[in-house]
Amino acid sequence: MDAARDCGIEPGNAKLERHAVYTFGARWADRWRDGRALIAGDAAHQMPPFAGQGMCAGLRDAANLAWKLDLVLRGAAREALLDTYMSERAPHVAAMIEMSVSLGRIICVADRDEAAVRDRRMIAEARERSAPVSVPLPPLGPGCTAHDTPGAGALFVQDAVRARGVTGRFDDVIGRGFALVSPVGDPATALDADSARWFASLCGFAAHVGANAPIADVCGGYARWFADHHAAVALVRPDFAVFGSAPSLDGAGALVAELRGRL
C-alpha cells in the first residue's frame, strides 16, 4: 500500500488491469535418449517457477550432454557414454523439482492469517541467522564418475586464481575442459607417458593451485575444498562436475585410468 501511495496511487483507486491463471508443471520424461535423438531442457522436464531453476536445469543438461556428444562424435568415447546423460541428470532434476514444489507450498499461502503466521516465523528465523543460508546443489546421479570418492558428482569449486600476472576466475584465467587440480603439487608428474598422452588427447590439463603455487589460490577456496573432502587431487569434467578425487597426488594416475575405462 505504501508503495502504491509513493507512486501517487491511492489504494482505493487501484484497478487490476489484467490477470492470468498459470498452471506449472512438475514432471520429467521417462526417457531422454532414443538412439540418436536426445532431449533436454523443457522437453525433458518441467520445473515449477519458485526457485528459478527451469532454465538453469536446461543449461546444466546442455553442459552435461555437450562434452559427451563431442567425445562420441570424435570417436574418443563409446556411444554408451550418452546413456549416462539421463542417469546423471534425472535424479538432480527430480531433487530440484521437489525443492521448487516445497517452496511453492510456502509462497502460495492464500489464507491471510496463515500467511501472517508464516511471515512472522520466517522473519524471526532470519533475525536469528548470523549468515545467509547456502543450499548446495544436489549431486549427479550414477554415471561417468568415480562415485566412491569424495566429491564425485558434485560441482567443483570455482574461485579466484592468479597466474601469469592475471587474476580472475579459474575458467577465465586457466581454461576449461578436463582438469587435474591439486593444492600439493603438479598432478602431471603422477601420470605415466601413455596416460599423459591420452589425457592430452582429450585436451585435458593439470593445475597446481595453492598459496605459493604457480596458480595462486587468491581467496583460499581451493584449499578449503580439498581440506573439506580430505583430498589431494581432483579430476574435474568439462561440465564442472567432479569426476573423482584421491587422498594423495599419486592418485592422479588412477583417476585418469578410471576415466579412460569409463569412456
Contact indicator for 151, 247 with CB cutoff of 8 Å: no
Judged against a pLDDT cut of 50, whether residue 212 lies above it is answered with yes
Judged against a pLDDT cut of 90, whether residue 16 lies above it is answered with no
Average pLDDT over residues 211-229: 95
Judged against a pLDDT cut of 90, whether residue 132 lies above it is answered with no
Cα 63-68-69 angle, rounded to 5 deg = 100
Cβ neighbors of 252 (< 8 A, separation 6 or more) are 180, 182, 187, 188, 190, 191, 206, 233, 235, 246
User: What percent of the chain shows pLDDT beyond 70?
Assistant: 95
User: What percent of the chain shows pLDDT beyond 90?
Assistant: 73
**51-61 pLDDT tens trace:** 888 899 999 99
Kind and range of the H or E element at 34?
strand 33-34
Residue 230 pLDDT: 97
Domains of the chain: 2-128 (3.50.50.60), 160-262 (3.40.30)
